[in-house]
């Protein structure tokens, strides 16, 4: 349920950001179809089924902007609102997992923080696509120098380098999202294993992205909007991976605080139910104290 809420908002945010990004770079790459095609492949390596022939966005139909227009302003505003909605849904999901229900921060700072995180995530996606693009271009250049075929060692090295880069960037994304949105103060010992789990899951999803597209196109009833379904499935699974990684970090934090209770405090379903009820009471009491302090103006 939490992943579904993130998926709905993130889908619009990703679509709007990539469309606006390709519209912006069209001014520089309009006369270079090879670079435009490589950029589309790099984006598809990060977000499957979004760009290219049969995708939701066809670069051939994107024209370079001629200047600041009303449509451009509306697109930017829509992108900002979609990004804020996606970050807000992610924040709500993470705080639900961590039993952190309140954020004593002025709402303007919350909006600025969410906007900054959305910008950082956008930079991460661009960096991942750019790294894949540059590694592929460098590999083609090296192969042209040494005369190696595309099926040789150079191709394997290129793929391995791209996977490593994507893995590192995915791990940084998991760390950034958890630290900024969860409201949990976690040590590096708790964060790093969860970040590695999340990065591994996200990298696997990105490497197997073609399966989403093939699976959707194989069904005649879904072929007409296969790219949208593939993107929807990919975003939902990615959100689930992010939440699983975050839950692992939360468990690690709780074990550091009270290892005996977190690991051995409940051996049956009934005991686990009691433990969850105790956690709910603690959260409710903390929220009540914060509300009373706010009412008194403390």
Q: For residue 76, what pLDDT is reported?
A: 74
43 and 185 co-located in one domain: yes
132 and 280 co-located in one domain: no
Which residues constitute the domain of residue 282?
265-298
164 and 24 co-located in one domain: yes
Q: Which of 25, 107, 117, 102 is nearest to 65 (CA)?
A: 25
Across all residues in the chain, what is the average pLDDT? Answer: 75
Q: Which residue has the higher pLDDT, 199 or 287?
A: 199
Q: Are 8 and 102 in contact (CB under 8 A)?
A: no
288 and 245 co-located in one domain: no
Q: Which residue has the higher pLDDT, 233 or 54?
A: 233
User: pLDDT by residue (tens digit) across 220-245?
Assistant: 565 556 667 777 888 888 899 999 99
- Report the alpha-carbon distance of residue 166 to residue 126 in Å, rounded: 11
Q: Which of 121, 139, 216 is nearest to 175 (CA)?
A: 121
Q: For residue 200, what pLDDT is reported?
A: 94
237 and 292 co-located in one domain: no
Q: For residue 256, what pLDDT is reported?
A: 80
Q: At what angle do helices 70-98 and 107-146 cross, to 10 degrees?
A: 100
Alpha-carbon torsion 48, 52, 57, 63, what sign?
positive
32 and 165 co-located in one domain: yes
276 and 192 co-located in one domain: no
Number of domains in the chain: 2
122 and 239 co-located in one domain: yes
273 and 196 co-located in one domain: no
User: pLDDT by residue (tens digit) across 130-189?
Assistant: 776 677 667 666 666 666 555 566 667 777 777 888 888 889 989 999 988 888 888 888
Q: For residue 22, what pLDDT is reported?
A: 66
Report helix, strand or coil for 57.
Answer: strand
137 and 242 co-located in one domain: yes
163 and 213 co-located in one domain: yes
pLDDT greater than 70 at residue 26: no
126 and 57 co-located in one domain: yes
With cut-offs at 50, 70 and 90, classify the pLDDT of residue 298.
low
């Amino acid at each position: 349920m939490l992943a579904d809420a993130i998926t709905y908002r993130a889908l619009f945010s990703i679509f709007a950001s990539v469309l606006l990004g390709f519209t912006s770079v069209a001014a520089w790459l309009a006369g270079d179809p090879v670079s435009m095609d490589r950029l589309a492949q790099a984006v598809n390596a990060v977000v499957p089924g979004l760009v290219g022939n049969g995708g939701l966005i066809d670069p051939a139909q994107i024209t370079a902007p001629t200047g600041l227009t009303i449509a451009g302003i509306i697109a930017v505003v829509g992108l900002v609102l979609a990004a804020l909605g996606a970050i807000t849904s992610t924040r709500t999901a993470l705080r639900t997992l961590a039993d952190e229900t309140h954020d004593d921060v002025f709402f303007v700072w919350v909006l600025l923080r969410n906007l900054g995180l959305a910008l950082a995530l956008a930079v991460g996606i661009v960096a991942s696509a750019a790294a894949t693009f540059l590694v592929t271009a460098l590999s083609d250049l090296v192969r042209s120098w040494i005369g190696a075929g595309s099926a040789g060692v150079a191709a394997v090295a290129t793929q391995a380098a791209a996977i490593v880069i994507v893995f590192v960037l995915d791990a940084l994304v998991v760390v950034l999202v958890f630290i900024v949105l969860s409201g949990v103060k976690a040590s590096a010992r708790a964060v790093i294993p969860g970040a590695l789990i999340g990065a591994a899951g996200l990298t696997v999803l990105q490497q197997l992205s073609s399966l989403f597209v093939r699976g959707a196109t194989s069904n005649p009833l879904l072929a007409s909007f296969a790219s949208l379904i593939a993107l929807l499935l990919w975003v939902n699974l990615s959100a689930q991976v992010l939440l699983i990684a975050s839950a692992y970090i939360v468990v690690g934090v709780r074990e550091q605080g009270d290892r005996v209770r977190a690991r051995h405090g409940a051996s049956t379903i009934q005991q686990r139910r009691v433990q969850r009820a105790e956690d709910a009471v603690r959260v409710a009491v903390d929220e009540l104290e914060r509300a009373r302090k706010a009412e008194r103006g403390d």
